Structure 1
């Protein structure tokens, strides 16, 4: 079993990564850090740099957690990639970060976090960044 975390280089993504590292340490499980770019996108703010991912991996190593990064691409929605990886790796937990969005923003753009919470067949831990 493993823990899957959807990581983006934002305060919510950092909070999710730290919570996932903590949970993996407590459970004695491996950590799968997922960062994905939208296919065909020329500019993607959710793509983590090598430095971002190295920092997350170093933090996991410091906590005694074995971690691996999965960098993929998604066509429509990051939700399917997270859920598929959770299934493939028999995840005991999916960890996601939450950010504040307006009602109109959620209506127009949708919410990956909401879809993961509603569609996941595995337990989900939703984390907010500290204020």
Structure 2
């Protein structure tokens, strides 16, 4: 089994990574760091550069956690792709970061985190960056 953490290069992504490392260490499980981009997209601000992903894996290793990084592209829906990865990896826990969005922003753009929370068939740990409010 493994711990899956959705990682983006943001304070919420860093908080998710920190929580994922702690959970993997506590449960003595492998950590799978997932950073995904829309298939065919030339620019995507949620895609972490290779050096950032390498540092994320090094943080896990320094904590005594075996970690791997995957970057599966998604076609239609990020939440569905992420949940598929969790099932394929037989994840015992999904860790995601939360960020503040307005009600209008949620309505227009949807919320990947909300969909993951509602549709996951395994436990989800949702964390927020220090000082941030999810509401």
CA distance in 2, matches of 1:14, 1:85: 20
Counterpart for residue 63 of structure 1: 63
Counterpart for residue 111 of structure 1: 111
What is the TM-score with the length of structure 1 in the denominator?
A: 0.98
* 2:14 pairs with 1:14: yes
Kindly state the Cα deviation for residue 42 of structure 1 after the two structures are TM-superposed.
1.9
Deviations, residues 39-73 of structure 1 (Å, cap 9, x unaligned): 12221000000111011111000110000001111
CA distance in 1, matches of 2:38, 2:121: 24
Deviations, residues 87-123 of structure 1 (Å, cap 9, x unaligned): 1111110000000000000000000000000000010
Counterpart for residue 98 of structure 2: 98
SS in 2 for 1:100: coil
CA distance in 2, matches of 1:47, 1:76: 16
Counterpart for residue 127 of structure 1: 127
Counterpart for residue 48 of structure 1: 48
What is the TM-score with the length of structure 2 in the denominator?
A: 0.95
5+ residue gaps, structure 1 = none
- The Cα RMSD (Å) is 0.7
5+ residue gaps, structure 2 = none
Kindly state the Cα deviation for residue 76 of structure 1 after the two structures are TM-superposed.
1.8
Structure 1 residues 62-71 or 74-83, which shifts more? 74-83
CA distance in 2, matches of 1:81, 1:18: 22
Counterpart for residue 30 of structure 1: 30
